Amino acid sequence: MKKSVIFGALTIAGLAAGAAAAGTLDDVKARGKLNCGVTTGLVGFAAPDSDGNWEGFDVAVCRAVAAAVLGDGNAVEFVPTTGKTRFTALASGEIDMLARNTTWTFSRDVDLKFTFVGVNYYDGQGFMVPKALGVSSAKDLDGATVCIQTGTTTELNLADFFRTNNISYEPVPVETNAEGQQQYLAGACDTYTTDASGLAATRATFENPGDHILLPEIISKEPLGPLVRHGDDEWGDVVRWTLNALIAAEELGVTSANVAEIGASSTNPEVKRLLGTEGTLGEMMGVDADWAANAIAVGGNYGEIFARNIGEETPIGLARGLNAQWTNGGLVYAPPFR
């Protein structure tokens, strides 16, 4: 009780004139900080390093949005959320946006009243098997024992896949990824199935990663992307077009190295519009003209972010695959900046 009053006093002291019920964009500008929900820790996607700085693929999206709105990629308050608290944190306004490898589904978009602003990673469920098993396709897994996390969509996808291919399997239920990893290594199951990015990250921690392979079949669609609350379209636009700016920058050849001068030197009008040296795109959205240049300067374009956090040079070693630009046969595609 003593403390509640102390904190009450603190709260009063710390509160500037509260801007209630204004748009999220104005709130963020007034606050000078973006509250961005991330996971409490997922290899490659979001985790603090030994100095406490958040790093990762999802974190880069938060930093890009902060740079676009506030001009500073470090003006982010990272709010760690678990799978259970993420949606309430967003709905209650504790965070302005959520970038927490969240699958875009119908019910989350429509029923939970969120707006997915795009996809930053196309994931899907895959299989990992020991090389010694001699299996090269998931369709060869007839009669296999499968380690599977209970209560997830992966469990349902697995049942569907084996039924449609008319083959049988024996599930070995596990609770967490750590448990699945142990069971799989101990030989309790022939194959371990979860999201392909998760499998790659798990395999990267093995003592002998080369002894295990990921099968080529991806049996479900898991588009992961950032999301905001329903009903605040101005803010949704900012997050959506920041993500699109990162993607378009890769397509247009704008990198963190050349972003400072290419806006002036390029002859491509779309580059000029994107970087704000021509046109009024930033003004339309209510941010500075060089919003996209700031966002790209923080961590580079989409390809650079991918390569640095989860790409083939990192221990996780994910290939671009579906996440290549549409010009390279992938699904990553930004609408025109016009």
Partner 1 sequence: MSDTHAESIPFVRETTLPQAAPPTAERGVYKWGRENLFATPANALLTLVSIYVIYVVLSAILPWVLNGVWNAGSLSECREILAGTRGGCFAVLVDRWEQLFFGFKYPSDQLWRPTLTLVLFFFAVAPVLFFDLPRKLLAFTAVFPFLAYWLIWGGPILVPIVALVGVGAGYVVYSRLVAQSFAGGFFGGIAAAAVVWFLGGYLVDATTGPSSLLDAVPSRDLGGYMLNFMLGVTCVSLSVPIGIALALGRQSSMPLIKWLSVIFIEFIRGVPLITLLFVASVMLAYFFPPNSTVDLFLRVVIMITMFSSAYIAEVIRGGLAALPKGQYEAADSLGLDYAQSMRLIILPQALKISIPGIVNIAVGLFKDTTLVSVISMFDLVGMIRGPILASTDWNGVYWELLGFAALLFFVVCYGISQYSQWLERRLATDHR
Question: Residues in the site for partner 1, rule: CB under 8 A?
Answer: 2-13, 15, 18-20, 27, 39-44, 46-52, 79-82, 84-85, 88-89, 92-94, 178, 181-182, 201, 204-207, 314-316
Q: Report the nearest approach of partner 1 to the CB of residue 200 (Å).
A: 12
Q: Report the nearest approach of partner 1 to the CB of residue 65 (Å).
A: 19
Q: Which residues pair with 77 in a beta bridge?
A: 35
Q: Report the nearest approach of partner 1 to the CB of residue 26 (Å).
A: 12
Residue 178 or 319: the one with the smaller Cβ distance to partner 1 is 178
Q: Report the nearest approach of partner 1 to the CB of residue 113 (Å).
A: 14
Residue 247 CB contacts under 8 Å (≥ 6 apart), including other chains = 301, 302, 325, 332, 333, 334
β-strands 47-48, 54-55 pairing:
antiparallel
- DSSP single-letter state for residue 316: S
Q: Is 189 helix (H, G, I), strand (E, B) or coil?
A: coil
Residue 142 or 211: the one with the smaller Cβ distance to partner 1 is 211
Both structure tokens of 140:
């060869």
Q: Report the nearest approach of partner 1 to the CB of residue 156 (Å).
A: 25
Q: How many whole angstroms from its chain centre is CA 70? A: 21
Both structure tokens of 145:
């024992």
Q: Report the nearest approach of partner 1 to the CB of residue 71 (Å).
A: 22
Q: Report the nearest approach of partner 1 to the CB of residue 224 (Å).
A: 16
- Please tell me the distance from the alpha carbon of residue 96 to that of residue 75, in angstroms, as a whole number: 13
Residue type, 309: N
Q: What is the CA radius of gyration of the chain?
A: 22
- Please tell me the distance from the alpha carbon of residue 273 to that of residue 266, in angstroms, as a whole number: 11
Residue 49 or 261: the one with the smaller Cβ distance to partner 1 is 49
Residue 97 or 259: the one with the smaller Cβ distance to partner 1 is 97
Maximum distance among all Cα pairs of the chain, rounded to whole angstroms = 67
Nearest residue to 297 via CA among 244, 235, 245, 238: 245
Residue 41 or 329: the one with the smaller Cβ distance to partner 1 is 41
Both structure tokens of 202:
């798990």
Residue 18 or 134: the one with the smaller Cβ distance to partner 1 is 18
Residue 21 or 132: the one with the smaller Cβ distance to partner 1 is 21
Both structure tokens of 165:
């291919």
